[in-house]
Structure 1
Amino acid sequence: MTRTSATYNLWSGLLFGLGMIAFIDEVLFHQLLHWHHFYDKSTTDVGLVSDGLFHAFSWFSTIASLFMLAGLRKNHSFWLKRWLGGVFLGAGVFQLYDGVVQHKLMRIHQIRYVENVAVYDWIWGIVAVSMIILGGFLILQTRRGSR
């Protein structure tokens, strides 16, 4: 395993994790549960447009990662454990960023508009940190190992 292919495995996983968790967020919390829009500081129409842009971003990230993955598979340099580490790390970092920066600092939306949002915030953060820890653990296991 070359250093370049190890890096590509990691980046492909990071982009896939970011795209996957953004897609899950968009479909579950925005579309199915109607808990919030990506941007809730304006009208519903603006919120829907922001959701569409967010959805497009998640798909661009996912598609880019899959092109990278196809190249890795073609060159027989795909490393599942490292890639999964990137997936969990990318998903966790995005979720932590969303929960801290977008929810609390920028206040462009909340997870859910209820009286006791702290419960949702804690669960959101714990899941994010758990994914980061799992991703970091998998990546560290592949630093000097072989496939």
Structure 2
Amino acid sequence: MQAETFGSFALVRSTWSGVLIGIGVMAAVDEIVFHQLLAWHHFYDGSTSEIGLMTDGLLHAAELIAIAAGLTMLWKLNQRGMLIRSRAVAGLFLGAGGFQLFDGTINHKVFRLHQIRYVDNILPYDIAWNAAALLLLIVGIYLIKAR
């Protein structure tokens, strides 16, 4: 049976499986590259290094849960013949871009949990961070509309 015959359920679930994986993957990239390898910041920098490290661990746990949930949804949809791969891929870009934009605007500017990097002129970093997020979101939107 074709996935399209299942209608909006398959579309929505396929998209959300990708969104969860995208969120988890982008959180992992952020946590591994910017928190660990470059040591630019922790998830929460308003306290001690130990608290910062603990919050990085919580972010890591959340990203693994998001990836596992998304992969479980993807696997179940595929087993039932309901997976719409193009929607899952679009969801992956939407999730990655959504996480990046949320992190760059809400976590960095509204909640002030941390900055991308602690330098005198943060503006180029903010622009690059949010531009990357918007690019990922645009790709996701394009992939959904191209279907």
Please tell me the TM-score bracket, short chain as reference: over 0.9
Unaligned runs of 5+ in 2: none
Distance 1:104 1:5 in 2: 36
What is the percent sequence identity of the aligned residues?
45
Q: Distance in 2 between matches of 1:140 and 1:77?
A: 20
Residue of structure 2 equivalent to 1:84: 89
Match of residue 131 from structure 1: 136
Query: CA offset at residue 77 of structure 1?
Result: 2.1
Matched, 1:63 2:68: yes
Match of 2:53 among 48, 51, 62: 48
Residue 41 of structure 2 corresponds to which residue in structure 1? 36
* Mean CA deviation greater in 68-77 or 23-32: 68-77
Residue 48 of structure 1 aligns with an amino acid whose one-letter code is: L
**Residues 64-108 of structure 1: CA deviation (Å, up to 9, x unaligned):** 000001111111222221111100011111110100111111111
TM-score normalised by the chain length of structure 1: 0.94
Q: Please report the TM-score for the alignment, with normalisation by the length of structure 2.
A: 0.94
1:111 to 105, 111, 116: 116
RMSD: 0.8
Equivalent position to 1:75, from 80, 85, 88? 80
**Aligned twin of 2:103:** 98
Q: Which runs of 5+ in 1 are unaligned?
A: 143-147
Tell me how far apart the structure 2 counterparts of residues 105 and 5 of structure 1 sit (CA, whole Å): 35
- Letter of the 1:114 partner, please give it: V
Shift of 1:140: 1.9
Of the structure 1 ranges 1-10 and 41-50, higher mean CA displacement relative to structure 2 is found in 1-10
Deviates more, 1:70-79 or 1:128-137: 70-79
Pairs aligned (count): 142
Displacement of 1:141: 2.3
Instruction: State the alpha-carbon separation in 2 of the partners of residues 9 and 97 from structure 1.
Output: 22
Hey, which bits of structure 1, 4+ residues long, moved more than 6 A? none
SS at match of 2:143: helix
Q: In the alignment, residue 82 of structure 1 is paired with which amino acid?
A: R
- Which residue of structure 1 aligns with residue 125 of structure 2? 120
